[in-house]
Structure 1
Amino acid sequence: MRMAEVSLKFDLTQDTLRYYERIGLIPPVNRNNNGIREYTEDNLRWVEFIKCMRNAGLPIEALIEYVNLFQQGDHTTQARKELLIEQREQLRLRIEEMTNTLARLDSKIENYGQGINRKEKELSRLTETEIG
């Protein structure tokens, strides 16, 4: 699959794909005789994995480290697992913070709703008084 197709499939710009490859977030992509990148199924799995992890907020540095460890072979399995466990904990903490923030926003929005209802009732009382 060519870069333009991968870009569309994963909703990433071609510049982003080149950047990910250049910094080592995805392993090097093979090129055909004309120098055009040809993404394999393995490449696509890496792109999908990195996009998923980035969408979850994992830092580029941690992902680069993970890819480097993966490329070093099976003797890095434990280090990769520990890195993923650490990132999972960081993500869990961010989710907790976001959940708390969401609850606070919901509360603030509810307060605005109650304030509007109060104002509407006051206006309707004023209107009734003026009519009566």
Structure 2
Amino acid sequence: MTETLPPSEAARRTGLTLDALRYYEREGLIGPIGRTAGGTRRYTPDDVAWIGIVTCLRDAGLGIDELRRFTTLLRGEHEPADRVAFLRRRHAELADQLARTQAAMKVLEDKIAYYGG
């Protein structure tokens, strides 16, 4: 039998609130989450791992619509190339954003040094 976790423990392990977990489930980004006979959600290790992926992609700047698209690519009858293309596009966008952020940080560092920091 696979170990399952109550919502509070899943929230603790993922760093999300219970509301965020329920929201992600409602939006179809995670789940379906299993339930006990009494209707209480129970999260598997696979659920927690998937939540970690969704959280990482969210932290990388993907919006809910993009996360839905990625989830659809994984769950649907799509070719692996479609998934890779999606991830490569996002990777290129993040690399561009990182380069702009690094350039901005350099300007700030130069200004701090100039003004005597």
Q: Does 1:31 align with 2:35?
A: yes
Unaligned stretches of 5+ residues in structure 2: none
Structure ranking higher in helix proportion? 1
Correspondence for 1:15: 19
Correspondence for 1:110: 113
**Preserved CA contact (<8 Å) 1:62 1:83:** no
| DSSP 3-state at the match of 2:116 | helix
Bigger radius of gyration, 1 or 2? 1
Normalising by structure 1, report the TM-score: 0.79
Correspondence for 2:71: 67
Counterpart pick for 1:58 among 49, 62, 73:
62
Instruction: Please tell me the residue identity of whatever aligns with 1:78.
Output: A
Unaligned stretches of 5+ residues in structure 1: 115-132
Normalising by structure 2, report the TM-score: 0.88
Correspondence for 1:94: 97
Give the length in aligned residue pairs.
113
Aligned alpha-carbon RMSD (Å): 1.4
**Preserved CA contact (<8 Å) 2:6 2:43:** yes
Shift of 1:11: 1.4
Instruction: Please tell me the residue identity of whatever aligns with 2:40.
Output: I
Correspondence for 2:87: 84
